[in-house]
């Protein structure tokens, strides 16, 4: 059995080692030198070249290295009938929870202004409201959104979430669908986007959505650049509809030199590192799913191609 691996060059060795440690018998093939393509039964990939996966006629499953699978579904040449499995992995979830808590706290405590004051040698005792009176809204209450919601609830923030279907998470007010969106947005002083990028969510972070938030709300987008209309974020910051934004993802990555976000005083940029998949944990999931497939069972965390996530 051979597995084709395609990841960022900087992380390829770590992935190869993780597979070797846990499954020394697996024949690992690298994307640029796949050998006999007929041997390849499984693909473990991040952003494969368009049409590239069609080269493997005996593929039984495609495992995404990331939680997001838009890098596969925006590729129109995905082989038909081959299950796509997304990444659900404890360290990935923990990393995103840390990111959400870190940046919600930064917004809540107005840390960006305190740091600007330090640079200007200004002593200004900035006060924050209490956590229970701070309303946080999380778009997407899946694996990552639900974990972030639970952590913020533990800090006693007033947390709500928005998803396609209703959820029951203790202490988290659940809104869903188009019907629930207005009420969800109207109460979200700090809005965190953890949605998958699909046809339904593309460009969702736009002027119209921002106008439904309380004036001066803030935005944290750790999902995908395709969710955000970047000129609308800049306009909302300009008008004061948004007070600040923390962005981990961008329409174009790396964020191009000279982009207005780089030097915007009310934008915090992180380089799409909100959370990274841990190769050891991920390989454990992939191997367990390979075993399931071998036993004739469906893999866990299979993606619904209709929904695109």
Residue 68 touches ligand OXD, criterion: CB under 6 A: yes
194 binds ligand NDP (CB under 6 A): yes
- Of 224-283, binders to ligand NDP (CB under 6 A) are 224, 248-249, 272, 274-275
Calculate the alpha carbon distances from 50 to 86, 186, 207 in Å.
18, 40, 32
219 interacts with ligand NDP by CB under 6 A:
no
Q: Which position's Cβ is nearest ligand NDP?
A: 142
Question: How far apart, in whole angstroms, are the C-alpha atoms of residue 76 and residue 72?
Answer: 8
CB atoms within 10 A of CB 27: 12
225 touching ligand OXD, by CB under 6 A: no
Q: Does 145 bind ligand OXD (CB under 6 A)?
A: no
Distance, CA of 290 to chain centre: 25
Q: Catalytic annotation on 224? A: yes
Binding ligand OXD (rule: CB under 6 A), the pick from 66, 137, 180, 299 is 66
Residue 66 or 161: the one with the smaller Cβ distance to ligand OXD is 66
Binders of ligand OXD in range 84-123 (CB under 6 A): 87
Mark whether 107 is an active-site residue: no
186, 212 Cβ separation under 8 angstroms:
yes
Catalytic residue among 107, 110, 135, 224: 224
x/- letters, 73..92, toward ligand NDP (CB under 6 A): -------------------x
Q: How far is the CB of 62 from ligand NDP (least distance, A)?
A: 16
Q: What are phi and psi of 136, to 5 degrees?
A: -110, 135
Torsion of CA 186, 273, 85, 20, to 10 degrees: -160
Helical residues (DSSP H) of the chain, grouped into ranges: 12-22, 70-73, 90-108, 111-119, 143-154, 177-186, 207-210, 230-239, 260-263, 279-294
Using the rule CB under 6 A, is 163 a contact of ligand NDP?
A: yes
- Give 104: exposed, middle or buried? Use CB within 10 Å, 0-12, 13-18, 19+: buried
Pick between residue 163 and residue 277 the one whose CB is nearest to ligand OXD.
277
Give the angle subtended at the CA of 227 by the CAs of 221 and 230, to the nearest 5°.
80
Residue 127 vs 252, nearer CB to ligand NDP: 252
Q: Which residue out of 54, 150, 266, 272 is catalytically annotated?
A: 272
How far is Cα 262 from Cα 231, in angstroms, rounded to an integer? 14
**Shortest distance (Å) from residue 34 CB to ligand NDP:** 27
Q: Is 197 in the site for ligand NDP (CB under 6 A)?
A: yes
Site residues for ligand OXD per CB under 6 A: 66-68, 87, 277
């Amino acid at each position: 059995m051979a597995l084709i691996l395609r990841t960022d060059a900087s992380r390829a060795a770590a992935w190869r080692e993780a597979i070797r440690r846990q499954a020394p018998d697996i024949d690992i093939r690298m994307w640029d030198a796949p050998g006999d393509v007929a041997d390849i039964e499984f693909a473990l990939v991040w952003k494969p070249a368009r049409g590239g996966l069609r080269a493997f006629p005996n593929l039984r499953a495609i495992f995404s290295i990331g939680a997001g699978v838009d890098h596969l579904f925006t590729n129109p040449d995905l082989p038909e009938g081959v299950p796509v499995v997304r990444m659900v992995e404890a360290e990935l979830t923990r990393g995103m929870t840390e990111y959400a808590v870190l940046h919600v706290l930064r917004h809540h405590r107005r840390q960006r202004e305190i740091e600007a004051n330090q640079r200007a040698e200004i002593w200004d005792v900035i006060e924050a409201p209490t956590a229970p009176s701070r309303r946080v809204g999380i778009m997407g209450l899946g694996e990552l959104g639900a974990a972030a919601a639970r952590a913020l609830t533990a800090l006693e923030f007033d947390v709500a979430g928005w998803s396609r279907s209703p959820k029951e998470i203790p202490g988290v007010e659940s809104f869903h669908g188009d019907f629930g969106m207005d009420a969800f947005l109207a109460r979200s002083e700090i809005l965190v986007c953890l949605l998958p990028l699909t046809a339904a969510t593309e460009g969702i972070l736009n002027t119209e959505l921002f106008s439904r938030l309380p004036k001066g709300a803030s935005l944290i987008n750790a999902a995908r650049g395709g969710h955000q209309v970047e000129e609308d974020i800049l306009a909302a910051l300009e008008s004061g509809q948004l007070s600040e934004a923390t962005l981990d993802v961008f329409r174009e990555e790396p964020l191009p030199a000279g982009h207005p976000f780089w030097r915007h005083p009310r934008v915090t940029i992180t380089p799409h590192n909100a959370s990274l998949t841990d190769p050891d944990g991920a390989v454990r999931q992939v191997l367990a799913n390979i075993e399931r497939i071998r036993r004739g069972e469906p893999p866990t965390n299979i993606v619904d191609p209709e929904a695109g996530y």
